[in-house]
Amino acid sequence: MNKLEKLKISQLKKFLASQVVFRDQTLYYSHNVSLETLTKTLNLDHQKTELIYQKISGSKERIKNTILNENIMQNLLLELGFDFEKKEFKHFYEQVQFFGFAQKETKFINRSLIVTVMGHVDHGKTTLLDVIRNTDVAHREHGKITQKIGGYEVNFKKNKITFIDTPGHEIFQDMRSQGAQITDLIVLVVAGNEGIKPQTIEAIQHAKRTKVPIIVFINKMDLATANPQNIMQQLSHYDLISTAIGGNTVYKMGSCLQKKGIQELLNAIVLKGNEINLKTDINLLPKALVIDSFLDKQGVKTSVIIQNGNLKVKEAVIVDDIVGKIKSIDDDLKTCFQIVTPGKCVVLLGLNKLVPVGSIIFGFPNDKLVANLAKNFNYEKSTTTNKSKQVLLNSVKNFLQATKQKQQINLIVKVDSKSSEQVLKKRLSGFLVSETDSELIELNFIQISFGEINLNDLQSAIITKSQILTFNVKLNKVIGKKIEALGIIYHNFYLLYKFFEYLEDLQTSVKNQQLNEKIVGQAEVLKVFHHSKLGSIAGCIIRKGQIKLDNNKIQVMRQQTIIGKNLKIKSLKHERDNIQGAVMNQEFGIILFNFDDFQVGDELCQFQVLSQDEK
């Protein structure tokens, strides 16, 4: 073990021993601390420190390093007039973030600039990413086999740029909600012939919220109908005013199809990148952000962007509830690394479980310490197979309980990767309704998991009379024949919106049979509060009609897009009081069942469901 590794271990041990911080007149701690740590953290003057030592009998030298009993510590804090709170963490990275992990910063390098391409579907994001990937000829031998790992690095005029190549908006949002900052820069692609669309606006809002700069690329300029002036005009309403007329947004235009304007765009990216501080200390504890997680022949693969420090093969890692040891690291060109530097996008082998996108991985040179850490934090090793069997059993049980319900379509969904699974689950939460409402349950998801369709899936599709829907998943020939023979309805989708269009069609086809809806109230979300126990609370104002605490369902709209429907109200309050309803212009707070994703500006509509006779 070298000197630096020893230093990291001693820093980590120190960090684990004294997790305490004093902020806003409150002492936060997660473990009991010594008297000396307590007085130092509270920054007590000599007189108060002496007073405390007097209260605890024994010689000062002997007691100063003794770990305090929690009751004694709390009594002391009360006497001193300080608030206190014991913090419990689910994830190691949250703890590191909260208490701060003081590390000596020593060796700085310039990391790659991290860029995410966003924009509306079909405006040319994938084509642009492909063109850029192929532009990087010096770095990429022609014909070399590549693998899709969620991102790739290019060298452009000696500048390293990592492009993130993941499903886009939802993932970005997931990461943001977990406090992870993923990108330095957003390239917003807008098709010159179409103009701004809902996902264009969504991308702008993400960028603004995360304070990430935007470069606009107006694509499809080869089309006669392309109208860049119109797009600039539309985007100026979102404060994206071109530098050409004194604004601060760089606009580039071109055609991905004809490979025009790409060099100019890359130049603009590099120039903007020069304004961003890319210096990073490679001697910090290695930290990486998970951007995808999937299973292939070799086992569980985890795609990450290295954020801090150098990550090495054979290093022990902790991520969420698992520990592992890195067996191999490679990139999209299948280049193997023994050690990777910050800013790189690589795929790791060595974790035994898929991890959610947005998780943070920490690497340590000492696996014994990591194993101990895992024990401390109640992390547990588990295997995917056991877990998925359990999930399946539970799903079948749920199904059997749910058979009394009237109108429903059962679905088994399989997806290609963990990131797709997360995106789908997130979007689907809007389709799921509360268990108690038997009249309205229409789509019943028996199982949502990743991987190809297997015999188990067919078996549960037969038991539960389910359709099987897949997203980006190959169909094995034998299984395909069995699906046909068994008469199971099966569809594969490559585009997320097509998948949701299909679900919408399924829903409406059932609904149209006997139900129709009438809007009774509309409200706007003015503020969002997050409560650790209650979930997200939306502070709203009624804009039309009224919203009542009854069985009528709520729909949440964002940019004219439904992001949650058939939602049931969990709680309705005006200030601190529970209320039965809110009327025109009244402000109120609302919590919904199965929906946690409010944003300021969302619109809530309440529907009254009418039967055919009432129409």
Closer to ligand GDP by CB, 127 or 594: give it: 127
What does the buried/exposed string (b/e) look like for 69-95 if buried means 16 or more CB atoms within 10 Å of the residue's CB? eeeebbebbeeeeeebeeeeeebbbeb
Min dist. Cβ of residue 546 to ligand GDP (A) = 41
For ligand GDP, which residue of 123, 160, 206, 287 counts as binding (CB under 6 A)?
123
CA separation (Å) from 280 to 107, 247, 277?
8, 31, 9
For ligand GDP, which residue of 51, 121, 270, 349 counts as binding (CB under 6 A)?
121
For ligand GDP, which residue of 220, 418, 553, 558 counts as binding (CB under 6 A)?
220
Min dist. Cβ of residue 119 to ligand GDP (A) = 6
DSSP 344-391: -EEEEE--SS---TT-EEEEES-HHHHHHHHHHTT-----HHHHHHHH
Closer to ligand GDP by CB, 199 or 366: give it: 199
122 is a site residue for ligand GDP (CB under 6 A): yes
Min dist. Cβ of residue 496 to ligand GDP (A) = 10
Largest separation between any pair of C-alpha atoms in the chain:
88
The token duo for 511 is: 């609904």
Stretch that binds ligand GDP, among 51-59, 118-126, 304-312, 355-363 (CB under 6 A): 118-126
Q: Distance between CA 309 and CA 103 in Å, rounded?
A: 11
Min dist. Cβ of residue 306 to ligand GDP (A) = 26
557 is a site residue for ligand GDP (CB under 6 A): no
467 is a site residue for ligand GDP (CB under 6 A): no
Q: Distance between CA 236 and CA 238 in Å, rounded?
A: 5
116 is a site residue for ligand GDP (CB under 6 A): no
Min dist. Cβ of residue 357 to ligand GDP (A) = 19
Q: Distance between CA 289 and CA 378 in Å, rounded?
A: 22
For 516, phi and psi rounded to 5 degrees? -145, 160
Closer to ligand GDP by CB, 52 or 257: give it: 257
Q: Which residues pair with 86 in a beta bridge?
A: 29
Q: Distance between CA 369 and CA 5 in Å, rounded?
A: 12
Q: How many CA atoms lie within 13 A of 367 on its CB side?
A: 11
228 is a site residue for ligand GDP (CB under 6 A): no
Stretch that binds ligand GDP, among 76-84, 116-124, 453-461, 518-526 (CB under 6 A): 116-124
Stretch that binds ligand GDP, among 98-106, 120-128, 371-379, 593-601 (CB under 6 A): 120-128
Q: Distance between CA 357 and CA 320 in Å, rounded?
A: 11
222 is a site residue for ligand GDP (CB under 6 A): yes
Secondary structure of residue 123 in the 3-state scheme: coil
The token duo for 615 is: 């129409």
Closer to ligand GDP by CB, 190 or 360: give it: 190
135 is a site residue for ligand GDP (CB under 6 A): no
Min dist. Cβ of residue 600 to ligand GDP (A) = 27
Min dist. Cβ of residue 266 to ligand GDP (A) = 16
What does the buried/exposed string (b/e) look like for 225-263 if buried means 16 or more CB atoms within 10 Å of the residue's CB? ebbbeebbebbeebebbbeeeeeebbbbbbbbeeeebbe
Closer to ligand GDP by CB, 124 or 309: give it: 124
Closer to ligand GDP by CB, 125 or 287: give it: 125
Of the candidates 76, 87, 92, the residue with the CA atom closest to the CA atom of residue 37 = 76
Min dist. Cβ of residue 427 to ligand GDP (A) = 17
Instruction: Compose the 229-268 pattern: x for residues touching ligand GDP by CB under 6 A, - for all others.
Output: --------------------------xxx-----------
Min dist. Cβ of residue 325 to ligand GDP (A) = 37
The token duo for 144 is: 């070399």
Q: Distance between CA 408 and CA 121 in Å, rounded?
A: 30
127 is a site residue for ligand GDP (CB under 6 A): yes
Min dist. Cβ of residue 130 to ligand GDP (A) = 8
- Count of residues of this chain found to bind ligand GDP when the rule CB under 6 A is applied: 15
124 is a site residue for ligand GDP (CB under 6 A): yes
Q: Distance between CA 309 and CA 284 in Å, rounded?
A: 5
Binding site for ligand GDP (CB under 6 A): 119, 121-127, 219-220, 222-223, 255-257
